């Protein structure tokens, strides 16, 4: 009978081992499902080149700022150039003013005198004044019921 008990115990152990090996373990059940991984290659060489250029520019700017004497010299040169331009503008303005003073009388003398045509009306009508204004007449003055207009004579009317 001991043999039967031992054989039944061995059979039970074997069945347990078989069942445990076939059934998923608790650790396996807790694992998340397998995920696929995607691998991509990205060309970052343009970004690297731009970064290198920016680093070079930054280094140049740092060197310029670090050279305070050079910076002061550049500012002094720019100030001198601006002052020279201001002086030239002042001289040009003075030359223009002199030219305008000398040429204005000559230009006025060369321009023909304006000849005027006159019209006198005994009316206070706004419509009449508007019509004459459209025709080039200018109201000079008004006295009582009289309106005085003038307009320059055209070249063919002189």
Reported as a single tens digit per residue, the pLDDT across 79-104 is 998 899 899 999 998 988 888 888 88
The model's pLDDT over 28-39, given as tens digits with 9 standing for 90+, comes to 555 666 676 767
> pTM of the entire structure?
0.32
Q: Do 97 and 136 sit in the same domain of this protein?
A: no
Please check whether residue 13 lies inside any domain of the structure: no
Question: Same domain for 64 and 97?
Answer: yes
Residue 70 lies in a domain: yes
Domain identity same for 104 and 129: no
Q: Are residues 128 and 105 in the same domain?
A: no
Together in a domain, 100 and 128? no
H/E element, 143: strand 138-143
Structural domain of 51: 47-111
Q: What is the pLDDT of residue 60?
A: 85
Q: Which residue, 75, 91, 111, sits at the end of a domain?
A: 111
């Amino acid at each position: 009978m001991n043999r039967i008990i031992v054989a039944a115990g061995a059979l039970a152990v074997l069945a347990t081992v078989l069942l445990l090996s076939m059934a998923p373990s608790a650790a396996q059940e807790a694992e998340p499902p397998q995920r696929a991984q995607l691998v991509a290659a990205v060309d970052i060489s343009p970004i690297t080149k731009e970064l290198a250029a920016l680093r070079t520019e930054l280094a140049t700017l740092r060197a310029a700022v670090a050279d305070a004497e050079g910076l002061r010299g550049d500012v002094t040169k720019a100030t001198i150039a601006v002052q020279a331009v201001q002086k030239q503008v002042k001289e040009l303005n003075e030359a223009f003013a002199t030219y305008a003073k000398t040429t204005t009388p000559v230009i006025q003398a060369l321009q023909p005198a304006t000849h005027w045509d006159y019209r006198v009306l005994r009316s206070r009508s706004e419509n009449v004044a508007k019509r004459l204004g459209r025709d080039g007449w200018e109201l000079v003055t008004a006295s009582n019921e009289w309106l005085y207009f003038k307009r320059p004579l055209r070249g063919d009317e002189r």
